[in-house]
Amino acid sequence: MYFCDVKSKFLNHINSPKELRLLNQKDLPQLARELREFIIDIVATKEGHLGASLGVVELTIALHYVFNTPDDQLIWDVGHQAYGHKILTERRENFHTNRQLNGISGFPKRSESVYDTFGVGHASTSISAALGWQLPQN
């Protein structure tokens, strides 16, 4: 089990979006700070892509807070945006294995989690994926 060195008021107690939705909205900015620090702490000692994930921390929290994931499905545009998503969706304890041999994938991976709707890769596949996902529904 891995815990961030940074003091965590909320993040170490959230293992799923269901638990995230129990927080008061006023606590979400603090959770965003903790999530950023957690991502930085891990990537600084391992490897990974910071920019895309740090840029969507608030969006990631908001999507999982407002929508009923995994029933409401999220499709990420770039896999590197999904670090916060992975941490909030039952993979926080294993996130230190991100992109490591026998660790969790650096991208959303359908076989890894019910929260990973689409196995997005490096760039801009979300529009075609969402269209392909929606067409059979109509």
Residue 127 binned pLDDT confidence (cut-offs 50, 70, 90): confident
- Token pair 């700070």: residue: 33
Please tell me the predicted confidence (pLDDT) of residue 104. Answer: 93
Residue 109 parent element (H or E): none
Angle at 60 between CA 86 and CA 70, to 5 degrees: 60
Domain 11-137 belongs to what topology?
Rossmann fold (3.40.50)
Rounded Cα distance, 24 and 138, in Å: 36
* Token output for 13: 């107690």
Which element (helix H / strand E) includes 86? helix 83-86
Q: How far is CA 6 from CA 59, 78, 110, in A?
A: 22, 27, 30
User: With pLDDT > 70 as the criterion, what percentage of the chain qualifies?
Assistant: 94
Give the tens place of pLDDT for each residue, 67-109: 999 999 998 888 889 999 999 999 999 999 998 999 999 889 9
**Helix pair 28-45, 57-66: axis angle to 10 deg:** 130
Confidence band of 7 (pLDDT split at 50, 70, 90): confident
**Residue 70: half-sphere exposure toward Cβ, Cα within 13 Å:** 13
The pLDDT of residue 125 is 79
Minimal CA–CA distance to 79: which of 46, 104, 45? 104
Q: What is the pTM of this model?
A: 0.88
For the chain, which residues make up each domain, given as ranges?
A: 11-137
User: Nearest to residue 49, comparing CAs of 57, 59, 39, 61?
Assistant: 39
Predicted local distance difference test score (pLDDT) of residue 131:
81
